[in-house]
A and B are shown apart, each in its own frame.
Chain A
Amino acid sequence: GAGVSQTPSNKVTEKGKYVELRCDPISGHTALYWYRQSLGQGPEFLIYFQGTGAADDSGLPNDRFFAVRPEGSVSTLKIQRTERGDSAVYLCASSLNPGLVNEQFFGPGTRLTVL
């Protein structure tokens, strides 16, 4: 079956612009996670959804970052007034149920470049 998909695979934007990154989780997975991976670093947790609600958004760096999952499936990560420091690979993961007993399956990521 299909894994986690993310679009676009690459996004280049200019400083100050608004971007949206999309994640399509594995069908039936209720938990969805966003991570950010900067060059030479491990993934950094941003936000976790259980169904439609954000169960933990403690990793969002500031109020320019926002994520939604209106129907409990696809999620969109939104970044306002982008800055050069936002350049990174944004990873999405999903798992069957909440709780770490269930493996998180990662997507290929969206590489965001802010010029």
Chain B
Amino acid sequence: AQSVSQHNHHVILSEAASLELGCNYSYGGTVNLFWYVQYPGQHLQLLLKYFSGDPLVKGIKGFEAEFIKSKFSFNLRKPSVQWSDTAEYFCAVSPWGADGLTFGKGTHLIIQP
């Protein structure tokens, strides 16, 4: 069975700082990769996804993620964070051909103004 590891459970940054949230997965075959975000009081929503092609994926709100197959990683990045980026971030994976997602435990990001 596949699993997802998010290394940082709590991250506190100041506005305009750069962000990188780590995500590693364990699965030997082809996978689809996702980052979801949950803003305070809101539903989970998709930030970005990778299926194939260019390993550098751009999502909404200036976020991007890079798939490094050799490292089984899919780290999320943003060059300059804003106070409104305060949220819970979840990395998720699904083996090719499956539909259910396997999520990491999440990273709680707090941006201080």
A residues with a Cβ closer than 8 A to B are 3-4, 31, 33, 35, 40-45, 48, 55-56, 58-59, 91, 93, 98-101, 103-109
Contact = CB atoms under 8 A, between A and B. Distances in A.
Contacts of A109: 43
B43 A107 contact: yes
B28 interface: no
A108 B40 CA distance: 12
In the complex, the 9 A-B pairs of residues with the closest C-beta atoms, listed nearest first? A42-B103, A45-B100, A106-B44, A100-B32, A106-B43, A43-B103, A103-B46, A48-B99, A42-B90
B94 interface: yes
Contact of A3 (B43, B51, B99): B43
A99 B4 contact: no
A35 B43 CA distance: 13
A6 to B, nearest CB: 10
A68 B103 CA distance: 24
Nearest to A55: B99
B56 interface: no
B51 A45 contact: no
A58 B49 CA distance: 24
Contacts of A91: 44
A91 B46 CA distance: 15
Nearest to A31: B99
A108 B90 contact: no
